[in-house]
Structure 1
Amino acid sequence: MKVILIHRKHGGSRSIELGRWSRALLSLCCLGLPLGMIALGFVAGQESQARDVRDNSLDSLQDALATQSTELEGLRLDAERKLQAMTMGLAELQARLTRLDALGEHLTAMANLEDGEFDFTQPPGMGGPLGGEFNVEYLAPDLTGELQIFAQRLDQREQQLEILESLLTHRKLDDQVWLSGRPVEKGWLSSRYGPRTDPFSGRPAIHDGIDFAGKAGSNIIAVAGGVVTWTGTRSGYGKMVEVSHGDGLVTRYAHNEQNLVDAGDLVRKGEAIALMGSSGRSTGAHVHFEVFKHGRAVDPSSYVHRTRR
């Protein structure tokens, strides 16, 4: 194969004889170069497309991750709010339990129960032999619902205990105003109510109270709770204390050595209100005890021997 080269400037020509390998190399260059370019372009296009696909995939993944992160943050905040609400609810329930324990101890004292019969500082005793186990599917408890149920039970217990406290309080108040018993801690009945011989004149007379003799200076006690309406010295009575108990009942304690209360004082049943003496019209240490009902003197003996209704 010959290749003729023509010089444009001088117009001359030159021929070159190509051998078999030279022809093959020239053919390879003439054909291989375009094919190589095409192949390179194809590869470059494939790489660009793959890069675009990778970029799109990465963008999608990043968007999905951002969405999931936002959702996860929302779930975390919601869980924190629920946990905070449950913590506050639990703290409130613990405070109410503490109040119930205190109320229970107060009711135990009011009811005069034995020590240890109801010990609110200790968990309740429970037990029993090991029983058979149930094969049931375990379900996670709804803590919010359980706390609500527990709160409702606490409401019921609080109402029941408050009602019980009110009943016990009224019972104790009734016991306080229930007029009964003797006006002395120690002593003996020395004169009854009604007609008798006057110890000074020797003539028949009406005795409007009963007398309890005892040791001078011993305690004179209130036979019921009430308000002191009068205290001082009165003719014939000597040093005297008068107590109003409500419902029209008034008691008097006379011939005292010393009065221990003042007008307006609140006194409880069994409280010492005076010391036994012999002031006023008296032959010796004793307390003259009178009971008035709606302003009229009545026999105190029925109240002295009175029992709880």
Structure 2
Amino acid sequence: MREMFDDDSARDALRTLTDGPAPPVTTTVDAVLRRGRRRVFAQRAGAVAGVVAVVAAIGATTVLLRTAGQPSGGGGVAVAATTPATPTGSLPGWETIPLDEATCEVPRHVPGTPPTSILPEERVRPVFVDVVESALGARPTVSEASWTEHSPKAGGPRGYLAVEIVMDNGNGQLQLEAGAFPGTPEQIADASLNAYGDCRPPARRVMPDGTVLQLFPADVRRPEQPAQHVQIYRPNGLQYVLTAAGWSAADMVPADGGGHWVDGGRGKLPVTEERLAYTASLLVNKLG
């Protein structure tokens, strides 16, 4: 184990996605932060069954973030990178959801039982690759994929995909996590307003079929490794989190006790906020 981080570094460690089991469903952001201060390898925040502790649908084992290393190379989709902008801009069809201190601090219970299965990898993977190709103009390379009908710590099904996006100083990624949630899309979206622990208002779009998309401001608390997330909640109880990540598979190194560190990063996101929002909307349409 490595030496303790300060509070800001512990928070930095809570925001990215890789392949690994999620923690129990009663985990809260504060509890994770406390663990992060006690241990170097903080466990990832939240799942979305039963008590949703404002960290619904955020990925798997937490990746700890260190200082930037050398840019990574490798194949992927070449696109124009962007410096993260915060907060989220004004996107047509998206409404900014205001937050207050109470909204940020109080976990919310979402009634209902989540689905026990998700769409299989052989259905989601080709759609995700096709959507990224359509949105960015070139076919991406899949760098990581994992799928399980029961993640022991998440207490439910989970899938994860990552594709490489070529930037001018190395690769970034678009990452997709699949899971399930209880209640309605709006209930779970409301419970997840502070999913990333920084209490900044997301933008929301409700699609004609009732799907709720929730776009968060870019997270730049660790400038070398920015990330931006879109939560997608479908009326059938299936959820997806689409993440633009300013690092690549080449930046990940094993961490003590399991999981990975991100050692290095691009210092910017691989896609614009507008392109990320468009990709999420296109994914909903293509998944059907």
Q: Which has the higher contact order (CA 8 A, sep 6+)?
A: 2
Same fold (TM over 0.5): no
The TM-score, its normalising length taken from structure 1, stands at: 0.25
TM-score if structure 2 supplies the norm length? 0.27
The structure whose Rg is larger is 1
Structure having the larger proportion of residues in helix: 1
